[in-house]
Amino acid sequence: MAGVRALGVLSRLSTRRYAANTSRTFSVAPAMLARTHVSYEVKDDVAVVRMNDPNSKVNTISIQMQNEMTEVMNELWANDAVKSAVLISSKPGCFIAGADINMIQACSSAEEVTKLSQEGQKMFELVEKSPKPIVAAINGSCLGGGLEFAIACQYRIATKSKKTVLGTPEVMLGLLPGAGGTQRLPKMVGLPNAFDMMLTGRNIRADKAKKMGLVHHLVDPLGPGLKSPEQRTMDYLEEVAIQFAKGIVDKKIPLQKDKGMMQKIQDYVMSFEFVRNQIYKTVHGKVMKQSKGLYPAPLKIIECVKTGVEQGPTAGYLAESQNFGQLAMTAESSALIGLYHGQVACKKNRFGSPAKEVKTLAILGAGLMGAGIAQVTVDKGVRTILKDTTVQGLARGEEQVYKGLNDKTKKKSITSFERDSILSNLCGQLDYKGFEKVDMVIEAVFEDIKIKHAVLKEVEAVVSPHCIFASNTSALPIKDIAAASKRPDKVIGMHYFSPVDKMQLLEIITTDQTSKDTTASAVAVGLKQGKVIIVVGDGPGFYTTRCLAPVLVEAVRVLQEGADPKKLDSLTTSFGFPVGAATLVDEVGIDVAVHVAEDLGKAFGSRFGGGNVDVLKTMVELGFKGRKSGKGWYVYEPGRKIKEVNPEIGEILENYRMKANPAVSSDSDVQYRLISRFVNEAVLCLQEGILNGPLEGDIGAVFGLGFPPCLGGPFRFLDSFGADKLVAKMQQFEAVYGNQFSPCQLLLDHAKDSSKKFHK
């Protein structure tokens, strides 16, 4: 069960259609074409401005949208019958999701992007200085440029709907809020909150936004009435916003809230330059620690905020637009945007909709993986059977599911009542009772082909013919498992990553015999569970485990050559991996690593050699199985944050000591030894047809294995780094270590012809 704990930015990327922000062309094109994106009507003396992109499910700030908005705003400002305005979206669940990324990607120079940013800044400045108050009525996502638009308005009202989220996710695309966000947010919510929002890019729910001062007023979503709840809620929001707009004009509703004592104290403290400097320093330090300086965007965000606060708005806005332009041209930004597009693509079911929806899912094995799968299934309204062979195992698994949900209750993302009613979908059992009604079985039992065959036969004896059998194996070829099946067309691999509720990736493995409908069904279940899905061909280690195995053995060799686990970790994390290689092996489990290394070593021969697997075996014999056993390369004690290297490891490594060759042992060499084996194996998977394309390869590597997101995945890394440069390095290593570093044919082809790119 290969898996890693994803940290940082990786776990936060999600597939909403967020976008960077800008707005183009404030100067109005005189074309008097009928407006399609923005319309307005005047109710009493309030202009209700409605946004509705006719070509998309969400509103984005596109050129069309901006032009029409500008036209409308100019008309309103010129219209004496209008005293105030309400800005609202006609789309359920979306205010403005951001600006169209394509608009930025279409630019070819930093100057061009800077100009986009400046036009956006200008437009929102006019909105901010509007003589007629504008109330932003927010229902649904209000992100990126959408939030920058909203905070330029005089007043903000948001619905308490679960779909209403506010945020500045630009940082996750390697960008910054470029239409005044870095300047307005600190003033609105204070430095600490503004940094938190912009540097993490996290979504803020409506109630939190109210507390932070990001919105002024909240409106409850309505239930069914004389219209659908969604429609009526939007109408209601509009009615309330109109009331407020009138109230603001009549001076009945103050735009500024009286500051509370805490706020006054905070403001006072913040008025000292040395306090602010301390904040910049702390935030900078934190960013450097987490990003290892590999991501330019967070640093630029700090710079923009600092410039604005310390040198005034003119300098601040200039810094914002210039840095925005520069960031848009960075390799990191294109890597992250590439991942975003990939993620969107991997959230679609290219196999069509399955003949039968999975309504009851059974999971065999209530271990960490099995219970994790149950955890992401029960809350999607799917009846979930969790079966184990022992009462203790089952109790542990059910407790894991309960704890996962209860943690959500504590964070107030669900109520305790919702928790209980979700849990009513879970049925823990020790036998196969009720399996005749099960639509899909996912086995997460011990990784042993005999046990897998045994449960497959047991399952097939009790389930109905339409039931799909999925194996959550990390390395055993699916066709070997399917060999014991009466209906191999219903057998498929579903490789989850641990911890299942945190890791976004699901690797689905199909054999030659797996039917298209089975695949469609597995993808549909995965999507329901909220997963990003890659569908790969069958073979030892499929795609992810196969890329991981050579890195593992190489890591062992590095340790045998004398590096200590902490050194190895720092080399890998400073390259951009969210988790160091030694920690990764501890997370995966030393015993699992042994299995993987041996199985794949047998399948692929000397190419998968490197470090001595006996090192790991010795560790397993001594009970050092990684985090789960409390000891691996490191010692794990509950409650202790700083982990120490396992003192008993030194002796083992001493027994298996290898002599490092100084020609290939510099820090940089070690990093490239690890990364090149990963990348070469990935390219080989593409060459052999295991992978459907480089996009899925990148997504799988980043979301499943923690390949540095700033590099965008092995294939994008090759495109930007240069296949020829990597091949040159590999050949240098090959001279010392042999065929483990032989570049595969496809990699050589790319090295020979620099015009060949994996991503167009």
Partner 1 sequence: MLFGGGLVVKVSGLTLARPGVKNIVLVEGVRTPFLLSGTTYANLMPHDLARAALQGLLNKTSLPKDAVDYIIYGIVIQEVKTSNVAREAALGAGFSDKIPAHTVTMACISSNQAMTSAVGLIAAGQCDAVVAGGAEFMSDVPIRHSRKMRKTMLALNRAKTLGQKLSLIGSIRMSHLSPELPAVAEFSTAETMGHSADRLAAAFGVSRLEQDEFALRSHTLAKKAQDDGLLEDVITFKVPGRDIVSKDNGIRPSSMEQMAKLKPAFVKPHGTVTAANSSFLTDGASAVLIMSEEKALAMGYKPKAYLRDFVYVSQDPKDQLLLGPTYSTPKVLERAGLSMSDIDVFEFHEAFAGQIMANLKAMDSDWFGQTYMGRKAKVGTPPMDKFNLWGGSLSLGHPFGATGCRLVTTVAHRLKKEGGQYGLVAACAAGGQGHAMVIEAYPQ
CA atoms of 649 and 114, how far apart (whole Å): 53
- Of 106, 225, 277, 745, the one binding partner 1 (CB under 8 A) is 225
- Asked if 35 and 71 touch (Cβ cutoff 8 Å), the reply is yes
219 binding partner 1? (CB under 8 A): yes
285 binding partner 1? (CB under 8 A): no
CA atoms of 152 and 165, how far apart (whole Å): 17
Binding-site string for partner 1 from residue 162 to residue 201, where x marks contact by CB under 8 A and - marks none: ----------------------------------------
Contacting residues for 540 by C-beta, under 8 A, at least 6 apart: 475, 477, 546, 599, 600, 603, 604
- As to burial, measured by CB atoms within 10 angstroms (0-12 exposed, 13-18 middle, 19+ buried), residue 258 is exposed
User: Between residues 225 and 285, which has the closer beta carbon with respect to partner 1?
Assistant: 225
Tell me how far, at minimum, the Cβ of 30 lies from partner 1, in Å: 40
Tell me how far, at minimum, the Cβ of 230 lies from partner 1, in Å: 12
Cis peptide before 499 (omega within 30 of 0): yes
- Of 30, 54, 131, 223, the one binding partner 1 (CB under 8 A) is 223
- Asked if 736 and 752 touch (Cβ cutoff 8 Å), the reply is no
CA atoms of 586 and 581, how far apart (whole Å): 9
CA atoms of 427 and 387, how far apart (whole Å): 8
- Binding to partner 1 (CB under 8 A) within 229-268 occurs at 229, 232, 236, 240, 243-244
User: Between residues 252 and 516, which has the closer beta carbon with respect to partner 1?
Assistant: 252
User: Between residues 236 and 351, which has the closer beta carbon with respect to partner 1?
Assistant: 236
User: Between residues 33 and 226, which has the closer beta carbon with respect to partner 1?
Assistant: 226
Q: Which stretch binds partner 1 (CB under 8 A): 72-80, 111-119, 222-230, 256-264?
A: 222-230
92 binding partner 1? (CB under 8 A): no
Tell me how far, at minimum, the Cβ of 228 lies from partner 1, in Å: 8
222 binding partner 1? (CB under 8 A): yes
* Amino acid at position 349, single letter: N
620 binding partner 1? (CB under 8 A): no
Tell me how far, at minimum, the Cβ of 220 lies from partner 1, in Å: 5
Long-range contacts of 597-602 (CB under 8 A, 24+ apart): 597/549, 597/552, 597/553, 599/475, 599/476, 599/540, 599/541, 600/475, 600/540, 600/541, 600/545, 600/546, 600/549, 601/549, 601/553
CA atoms of 309 and 730, how far apart (whole Å): 49
- Asked if 139 and 93 touch (Cβ cutoff 8 Å), the reply is yes
- C-alpha distances (whole Å) from 513 to each of 459, 572, 689 are 19, 39, 16
CA atoms of 646 and 148, how far apart (whole Å): 50
417 binding partner 1? (CB under 8 A): yes
CA atoms of 306 and 303, how far apart (whole Å): 5
406 binding partner 1? (CB under 8 A): no
Residues in the interface with partner 1 (CB under 8 A) total 17
- Of 75, 111, 220, 310, the one binding partner 1 (CB under 8 A) is 220
- C-alpha distances (whole Å) from 76 to each of 29, 40, 71, 538 are 17, 9, 9, 62
Tell me how far, at minimum, the Cβ of 221 lies from partner 1, in Å: 8
Element (H, E) at 162: none
Tokens at residue 58, please?
């969400």
E-state strands within 213-351? 217-219
Give the active site residues: 507
Tell me how far, at minimum, the Cβ of 240 lies from partner 1, in Å: 5
Q: Which stretch binds partner 1 (CB under 8 A): 227-235, 362-370, 475-483, 592-600?
A: 227-235
User: Between residues 155 and 324, which has the closer beta carbon with respect to partner 1?
Assistant: 155
- Asked if 493 and 533 touch (Cβ cutoff 8 Å), the reply is no
User: Between residues 10 and 241, which has the closer beta carbon with respect to partner 1?
Assistant: 241
Task: Give the CB-side neighbour count of residue 345, counting CA atoms within 13 A.
Answer: 17
User: Between residues 409 and 687, which has the closer beta carbon with respect to partner 1?
Assistant: 409
User: Between residues 247 and 537, which has the closer beta carbon with respect to partner 1?
Assistant: 247
Task: Choose among 453, 409, 530: nearest CA to 15.
Answer: 530
- Binding to partner 1 (CB under 8 A) within 435-464 occurs at none
Which residue has 């639509």 as its token pair?
A: 439
User: Between residues 220 and 273, which has the closer beta carbon with respect to partner 1?
Assistant: 220
- Asked if 496 and 506 touch (Cβ cutoff 8 Å), the reply is yes
Tell me how far, at minimum, the Cβ of 424 lies from partner 1, in Å: 13
Tell me how far, at minimum, the Cβ of 219 lies from partner 1, in Å: 7
415 binding partner 1? (CB under 8 A): yes
Tell me how far, at minimum, the Cβ of 622 lies from partner 1, in Å: 43
Tokens at residue 205, please?
């729910």
662 binding partner 1? (CB under 8 A): no
- Of 81, 226, 261, 642, the one binding partner 1 (CB under 8 A) is 226
Tell me how far, at minimum, the Cβ of 163 lies from partner 1, in Å: 16
Q: Which stretch binds partner 1 (CB under 8 A): 67-75, 176-184, 218-226, 512-520?
A: 218-226
User: Between residues 240 and 482, which has the closer beta carbon with respect to partner 1?
Assistant: 240
Q: Which stretch binds partner 1 (CB under 8 A): 13-21, 33-41, 142-150, 216-224?
A: 216-224
Tell me how far, at minimum, the Cβ of 96 lies from partner 1, in Å: 24
User: Between residues 239 and 724, which has the closer beta carbon with respect to partner 1?
Assistant: 239
CA atoms of 307 and 276, how far apart (whole Å): 12
The residues binding partner 1 (CB under 8 A) are: 219-220, 222-229, 232, 236, 240, 243-244, 415, 417
